[in-house]
Structure 1
Amino acid sequence: MDFETEQKFLLSKHVGYLLANLQQLPAPYAGQESNRLTLAYFAVVGLKMLDALDEGAVPEITEWVYSLQVIPEKGQVENGTCYGFRGSPSLGIPYSETGVPSQHQYDSANIAATYSALAILRSFGDDLSRVAREPILRTLQRLQQSDGSFGSVCAEAESDMRFVFCAAAICSILGDQTAIDVDAAVQFIHRSRGYSGGFGLASGLEAHGGATYCAVAALKLLERLPRQGNALGTEANGCGRTGTEGMGTTLEWCLQRQTSSGGLQGRANKDADTCYAFWVGASLEMLGGYSFLDRQSLRRFLFRCQNQKYGGFSKHPGELPDLLHTFYGICGLSLVGQDGLRRIDVSLGVPVT
């Protein structure tokens, strides 16, 4: 890669890459079929960030998203089904061109797909009038575990910080936190902070950039994050009733993730990775410490992760691009202040409206 390319944002290439993936996913994504809605989130919201989504496509995409909604039949709210959105049209009932959602006894929504669906609809400015709010909120209530975390589905399944973030984001988009135990969720988050200041997926697990983002964003969405300017403090703060100390060690941990390459790593002693430009960068933005990063070095690292031929971003420089790293590369550059990009709502992962 020549010096000139390292200094250039390949906007039109990225638009082409995302449009191609939105129209037809490459064969390597076959194993991710159950996550098709999340892949659509990366492509659709990525195009919105680039201000390049054809508004004429919005109604069709909106109908497709709503077709994945799992809603109860009359009198069936408490039948054990997870309500919200399923991750793919290949799960549950067949796709209906009429846009009328329904359910099947083996059909179930999951919390990550529900977040992805609502984030897409939010980025479109949809009024959410067709969202089955009450069943979704009841499902969140069922998904909350005794330790305050959230499961992914209404069955025995993993529960960790990722799904705490999803629950907080869903509640924020729907404008209702009453269905969940906010105090228990906040206590789970703080128990998951390690000695280094970063957060793990659960208590006792290694601090990780993705888990730290989920923790900090969830605290912000639940209105329990210290106010900017007080993140370094140790007195009572925006965490309120939890009685926890300030987030200074978390801010310091995030700042320590910038490597000599200019990029951000997810864990100590790991290579820099495109996605952490958002996950760690957004955490710093919410904590009021983003300005302490070497932003120009970070920008140059992200430019080196662009694919000159196909567009998109790869995990590391010189590798093939993928949807996840393309989306978070774009979001990371939005934080840096790259021209041609919309501002990102760092706590929700959607463009600022």
Structure 2
Amino acid sequence: MNDLAVDRHAAYFRYCLNVLPSPYVAVDATRLAMVFFSIAGLDLLGCLPNVDPEIELGKTLSARSKVSEKTAQAWIEWIYSTCMIPGGAMFRASPSIGAESNSNQFRYDVGHIAGTYFALSTLLILRDDLSRIDRKAMLSWLRACQREDGSFASGVFNWKTDKQEQFGERDLRFGYCAAAIRWMIGGDRLVTQEAVEDINVESAITYVVQECWTYDGGLGMGGMSEGHGGFTYCGVGLVKLLDGDLERCFGREKLQQLIRWSVAHQVAEPGEDGASIAGFNGRINKDPDTCYAFWVGGTLDMLGKEWLEKTSLGRWTAYLVETTQNQDIGGFGKTADSMPDVMHSYLGLAALALRAASYADCLKQLDGSLCIAADGREHAEKLRRSWDEQRSR
């Protein structure tokens, strides 16, 4: 598609991997998230060496946008060497919060559930085999992060002791990360093959369906809150990854309400030529925002691609390409008058990648439930099968 500035987007993500503007100092404790958004963005554009040579994707990119095997391997080593907690059971969210083993602060150098999700997702994108990870220990750690009500903490102090102390708020995003981590490491297979204790899948799903259901037919941080596009995506994603049968878990009535709630969050505003363009917002009476094109679009993708097709597809892609895409330096901003940032830049591309047929010449197809390219999920599926084969020998 000639309306997508692919080389500028690639340059923007490459720049973000080398140096970030000073405002990002405030989020340095989540540096792995910035790394994920940048590398995943390059992957969707076909810049990484994992592109199938038989397809046309990436052939419109200039040579300077391509990433070498050496660089991709260096990124893998950076994740393991700076962010993996010794033992291989979890990852910290940033190398800036690491501590020496003889330091008084060492007890605070613990794994973070979101950091672990971003690390695993990025490693899969880069086609790592995850052989340096202790999958059994990681599943055990996830179980320690789960609260009695089914929700998940962001991490645990004093893990593997009788003085475990969960930290972090009850945040549906942590539940989604836990479900994605469990799937990526083949936790469902470990439980049946290795007699490893699983997380409480039933209580995790019940927490979403009962405790996070909101009065308006969406999902939020609790029953008394309003539905939110990001939390709705995380809740639906959690159920999809842990069970797969959304109708059985939510029930037909709630599933229809979720579909209606999601479609209703497409909002229109005038375009440059006077025609109406329509992005998505995350809450009632809010302006459209680039990231919600993915959060809401990804939710509809999981609920059934036919529901995504029932939105005004051309109008919300026009909102992204014509309104929030920065044609000068690359990337996407939050809104039309915003400078691009790395999160909105990736989620803008991810939303467009949900429309695989329309952007097949310049974007990979996206897997809506994992928020990575579909071939990254295929790589994870291969690893899961290989772990099964190793076990059967």
Band of TM-score, shorter chain: 0.7 to 0.9
Partner residue, 2:267: 259
Is 1:274 aligned to 2:290, yes or no?
A: yes
Partner residue, 2:39: 44
Superposed displacement of residue 246, structure 1: 4.6
Letter in 2 for 1:160: D
Distance 1:133 1:282 in 2: 28
Superposed displacement of residue 70, structure 1: 0.7
Specify the SS of the correspondent of 1:84: coil
Moved more, 298-307 or 123-132: 123-132
Partner residue, 1:328: 347
Moved more, 216-225 or 14-23: 216-225
Please give the TM-score of this superposition, normalised by the length of structure 1: 0.86
Q: Is the 8 A contact 1:254 1:283 kept in 2?
A: yes
Distance 2:240 2:251 in 1: 16
Partner residue, 2:143: 141
Cα distance per residue 1:42-71 (max 9 Å; x no partner): 000110011113142111000111121113
Distance 1:11 1:318 in 2: 21
**Aligned ranges 1:71-110 → 2 under 5 Å:** 71-72=86-87, 83-93=89-99, 104-110=106-112
Is 1:64 aligned to 2:74, yes or no?
A: no
RMSD over aligned Cα atoms: 1.9
**Aligned ranges 1:146-157 → 2 under 5 Å:** 146-154=148-156, 155-157=166-168
2:370 to 343, 348, 352: 348
Cα distance per residue 1:328-348 (max 9 Å; x no partner): 000011113324100111101
Partner residue, 2:312: 294
Letter in 1 for 2:86: I
Is 1:180 aligned to 2:199, yes or no?
A: yes
Superposed displacement of residue 126, structure 1: 1.5
Is 1:22 aligned to 2:17, yes or no?
A: yes
Distance 1:311 1:139 in 2: 39
Q: Is the 8 A contact 1:257 1:265 kept in 2?
A: yes
Moved more, 131-140 or 288-297: 131-140
**Aligned ranges 1:307-326 → 2 under 5 Å:** 307-326=326-345
Flag structure 2 segments of 5+ consecutive residues without an equivalent: 49-66, 157-165, 192-197, 270-277, 376-393
Q: Is the 8 A contact 1:216 1:225 kept in 2?
A: no
Letter in 2 for 1:201: M
Question: How many pairs align?
Answer: 319
Letter in 2 for 1:319: S
Superposed displacement of residue 305, structure 1: 0.3
Letter in 1 for 2:44: M
Is 1:117 aligned to 2:122, yes or no?
A: no
Distance 2:85 2:221 in 1: 28
Partner residue, 1:222: 242
Superposed displacement of residue 18, structure 1: 0.5
Q: Is the 8 A contact 1:164 1:214 kept in 2?
A: yes
Specify the SS of the correspondent of 1:260: strand
Partner residue, 2:230: 210
Distance 1:118 1:146 in 2: 26
Identity of aligned residues (%): 37
Alpha-carbon distance change, 195 to 13 in structure 1, aligned in 2, over 3 angstroms: same
Specify the SS of the correspondent of 2:107: coil
Distance 1:92 1:222 in 2: 31
Distance 1:153 1:203 in 2: 24
Please give the TM-score of this superposition, normalised by the length of structure 2: 0.78
Superposed displacement of residue 125, structure 1: 2.0
Flag structure 1 segments of 5+ consecutive residues without an equivalent: 74-82, 95-102, 227-236
Partner residue, 2:54: none
Specify the SS of the correspondent of 1:131: coil
Moved over 4 A (4+): 242-246
